Amino acid sequence: MSTAQTMGFQTEVKQLLQLMIHSLYSNKEIFLRELISNASDACDKLRFESLQYPELLAEDTELRIRVSYDEANKTITIEDNGIGMSREDVIAHLGTIARSGTKEFFASLTGDQQKDAQLIGQFGVGFYSAFIVAKQVQVLTRKAGLAANEAVKWVSEGQGEYTIDTVTKESRGTSITLFLNEDGEEFLNGWKLKEILRRYSDHISLPVQMPKEEYDQEAQTMKKSNEWELVNQANALWTRNKSDISEEQYKEFYKHISHDFNDPLTWTHNRVEGRSEYTQLLYIPKNAPFDLYDRDAKHGVKLYVKRVFIMDDAEQLLPNYLRFVRGIIDSADLPLNVSREILQESRDVKTIREGSAKRVLSMLEDLAENRPADYASFWAEFGQVLKEGLGEDQSNQERIAKLLRFASTHDEQATQTVSLADYVSRMKEGQDKIYYIVAESFANAKSSPHLEIFRKKGIEVLLLSDRVDEWALNFFKTFEGKSLVSISKGGLDLAAFEDEEEKKHQEEVAENVKPLVERLQTVLKDRVKTVEITNRLVDSPACVVVGQHELSPHLLRMLKSAGQEIPDIKPTLEINPNHALIEKMKQVNEADFADWANVLLDQAMLVEGAQLENPAEFVQKLNRLLASV
C-alpha cells in the first residue's frame, strides 16, 4: 500500500507564499537565515531532550548543520542532525501556520508591495522562505528515536499543495533540498554561500559546515573535496566579550532569535555576578509583533542553562509588561533539567527577573535621554504595554512613571511626547496637582468641556485615551509628591487659581441659581445623583461627573463591551451658572421645564461620550423646544 498522500496547504500558507514571492524578491538570501535558524533550533531541541533521554543522540553526538550545493542539478541542501519530524509533525508544521497574530497580520496587509514586505518581515516567514529561490522543495526528515523506515519525505512546488510519503532515511534529522529557480541560481557558488552563511550563523553555537573546496591547477577551477570545513565561529555570541562582538553580529543574532527582518532598536548585554550568576542579552525590537495584545502571545526570551538551550518564551524571566523584549538569558545556577513549574518557584529565577527588568528599564532610560527620536518610536510601538507596568511592577513604578509620555493641552497634538517631568516643570504658581482627563479617543479628550476652565487659566492637562490608561492610573496616584487628579470627576477644587473678585462673583451667581438647582434635582432625581454648581465650565452649560474614586463612565463602557456586569452609577450633573442657557432656564415655565432639564442632561452625557438610551426621545424633546423659541 502506498503511503504517499497529496495534501492542500492551509489558505493562509497559500496567501503567505504568494505574498512572499512577490514582496521579498529583493531580499532573496534570507531563505538561508531562516533555514539555518530552523536547523539550529532543531539541534537545540534535541540537545535539550537528550538531557533526559541520552539514547536519542545514539552514536551521532556531534550536533551540526551542513550546507552543500550541486551545480549540475541546481540544488542547495541544508542538513541537520537535530530532532527531526514525524509524519504528524510535518503535516502540522509544513502545511499550516499555527501562530498567534496570524489573523492580525493578514488583516494589516495593504496590497502595497513595499509596505507588505516590511510587514512580512515582522511576521516572519520561516521555512516557507525557501520558495523565494526554489521551484521545488524536498524535505527528508527522521525524528530522533524513530526507526529508519519511519522517515518522511515532503515535496512541494509551493503552489497549492504538497505530497508526503513515508520513506527510509539512515540518519536522524532533517535534510532540505531546494531545486533552485532562475533567481536562485546565483547561490550556486561556494564563495558566495560561505559569505552569507558566515553572516547569518557566526553567532550561533552550532558548527555550520560546507564541503572543503580547493583550487584545482589543472582544471583551473575550485574543486570540492570529501571533507567538511567549518564556516562559522561556532561559539555562542553572548559568551564572548562585548569588545569582540561587532554591531553587525549583535544585529544578526537578534534576527536569528526573533525572526524579525529589521534591525533591533537597541540592546543590552551583561554578565551578572553575585547571588545569582547569569548572562543576559536583551533587545528592544523596532516594531511591535502582531500579537502584542494577544493574551496567549509568546514571550520573547529564551532560557539557556550553561549554554544549553532549555526553552523558548520563558515567561518567568521578565514581567509581562516587558513582553516585547527579545533575547536570551543564560543562567549558571539553574539545573539543566529545569521545567516551567520549577521556574515558577525558583529563587534564582526571581533574582533574574528582577535584575532583567531593571536592565530593560535602564536601557529605556538611556534611550530616552540619549536618543529621543528612537525613544519616541519605541513609545509609539510599545508605550501602551509599558504602562501596564504601573500596576504590575509597583517596585519600579517611579522609574516607569518617568518613562511615560502623554498627549497634552500644552501642544494639543495627538502624538504622545510630554513626560511627567516636562509637565511638572510647567506647573503654575500654586499648582500642586497633575491634572489629566481620560476619554475614548484623543479627539474626545481634547474637546471635553471639562478642559474649559483649565484652558482659561492656562493650566496644562494630560490627554489620555489609550485603553490601558484608566486601569493603569488606578495604581498610580502620585508622582514626585504631586497627586494625579482626573478633571472629569467630581471634587475638583480650583479655588487656588481664583482671585478674590472671581470668588465673590461665583458666590453671588451661586446664590442666584440655587432655586434652579433645586428644580433640576427634583425633575432629574431618577437619572442623577445630584445637581451642583460648578466653576469648571466656561463655554458649556453643563457636564456630568462621577466621584474621584468611582469608576469613570468611560471605563464602565469598556467593561460593558467586554461583557461584564456593571453597576448602575448615576452621575452628578454640574451646571455652569454663568451660561446663557442656564440663565434662560430660570424663566422656563413648569410645563416645559422637564424637557429642558432632560435635554440639558442628555447633551452633557453625549459630550462625555455616552450613548443615549433613547436618542429618538432626545431629538423629539429638542425639536419641541426649538419650535417653541
Ligand X SMILES: Nc1ncnc2c1ncn2[C@@H]1O[C@H](COP(=O)(O)OP(=O)(O)OP(=O)(O)O)[C@@H](O)[C@H]1O
Pick 48 or 128: Cβ nearer ligand X: 128
Residue 93 interacts with ligand X (CB under 6 A)?
yes
Pick 173 or 383: Cβ nearer ligand X: 173
Cα end-to-end span (Å), the chain = 91
State the DSSP code for 548: T
State the DSSP code for 358: H
Residue 328 interacts with ligand X (CB under 6 A)?
no
Stretch that binds ligand X, among 75-83, 204-212, 419-427, 578-586 (CB under 6 A): 75-83
Q: Which position among 36, 83, 310, 343 is part of the footprint of ligand X (CB under 6 A)?
A: 83
| CB of 585 closer than 8 Å to CB of 515 | no
Stretch that binds ligand X, among 119-127, 299-307, 519-527, 553-561 (CB under 6 A): 119-127
Buried b (16+ CB within 10 A) or exposed e, 512-529: ebeebbebbbebbeebbb
User: What one-character-per-residue DSSP string does 216-266 give?
Assistant: ETTTTEEEEEEEEEE-S--S-GGGS-GGG--HHHHHHHHHHHH--SSPPSE
Instruction: Kindly identify the residues of this chain, within the stretch 518-547, that bind ligand X according to CB under 6 A.
Output: none
Stretch that binds ligand X, among 80-88, 155-163, 359-367, 602-610 (CB under 6 A): 80-88
| Gyration radius from the chain CA atoms | 32
Beta bridge partners of 233: none
Residue 257 interacts with ligand X (CB under 6 A)?
no
Q: Count of CB atoms within 10 A of residue 86's CB?
A: 17
Would you give the binding string for ligand X spanning residues 397-436, x where CB under 6 A is met? ----------------------------------------
CA distances to 76, 316, 361, 384, 469 from 404, rounded to whole Å, are 50, 24, 12, 9, 11
| CB of 435 closer than 8 Å to CB of 410 | no
Element (H, E) at 107: helix 102-108
Binding residues for ATP, by number, are: 34, 38, 80, 85, 100-101, 122-127, 174, 340
Shortest approach of ligand X to residue 9 CB, angstroms? Answer: 12
Residue 291 interacts with ligand X (CB under 6 A)?
no
Element (H, E) at 338: none
Residue 300 interacts with ligand X (CB under 6 A)?
no
Residue 85 interacts with ligand X (CB under 6 A)?
yes
Stretch that binds ligand X, among 82-90, 318-326, 567-575, 606-614 (CB under 6 A): 82-90
Q: Which position among 95, 126, 190, 547 is part of the footprint of ligand X (CB under 6 A)?
A: 126
Residue 293 interacts with ligand X (CB under 6 A)?
no
Shortest approach of ligand X to residue 94 CB, angstroms? Answer: 6
Residue 80 interacts with ligand X (CB under 6 A)?
yes
Closest residue to ligand X, judged by C-beta, is 126
Shortest approach of ligand X to residue 412 CB, angstroms? Answer: 41
Backbone angles phi, psi at 301, to 5 degrees: -110, 130
Pick 176 or 317: Cβ nearer ligand X: 176
CA distances to 197, 209, 590 from 516, rounded to whole Å, are 81, 88, 12
Q: Which position among 82, 101, 285, 300 is part of the footprint of ligand X (CB under 6 A)?
A: 82
Residue 127 interacts with ligand X (CB under 6 A)?
yes
Shortest approach of ligand X to residue 175 CB, angstroms? Answer: 9
Dist. CA 187–CA 190, nearest whole Å: 8
Binding residues, by number, are: 34, 38, 80, 85, 100-101, 122-127, 174, 340
Q: Which position among 101, 121, 124, 571 is part of the footprint of ligand X (CB under 6 A)?
A: 124
Instruction: Kindly identify the residues of this chain, within the stretch 32-71, that bind ligand X according to CB under 6 A.
Output: 34, 38-39, 42
Pick 79 or 595: Cβ nearer ligand X: 79
Closest CA to 63 of 84, 82, 83: 82
Pick 88 or 186: Cβ nearer ligand X: 88
No. of helices (H) and no. of strands (E), the chain: 21, 22
Dist. CA 104–CA 106, nearest whole Å: 6
Pick 39 or 231: Cβ nearer ligand X: 39
CA distances to 484, 537, 607 from 491, rounded to whole Å, are 13, 14, 20
Instruction: Kindly identify the residues of this chain, within the stretch 160-189, that bind ligand X according to CB under 6 A.
Output: 174
The greatest distance separating any two alpha carbons of the chain, rounded to the nearest whole angstrom, comes to 114
Shortest approach of ligand X to residue 57 CB, angstroms? Answer: 15
Q: How many residues bind ligand X (CB under 6 A)?
A: 16
Q: Count of CB atoms within 10 A of residue 566's CB?
A: 13
Shortest approach of ligand X to residue 39 CB, angstroms? Answer: 5
Contacts to ligand X by CB under 6 A: 34, 38-39, 42, 80, 82-85, 93, 124, 126-128, 174, 259
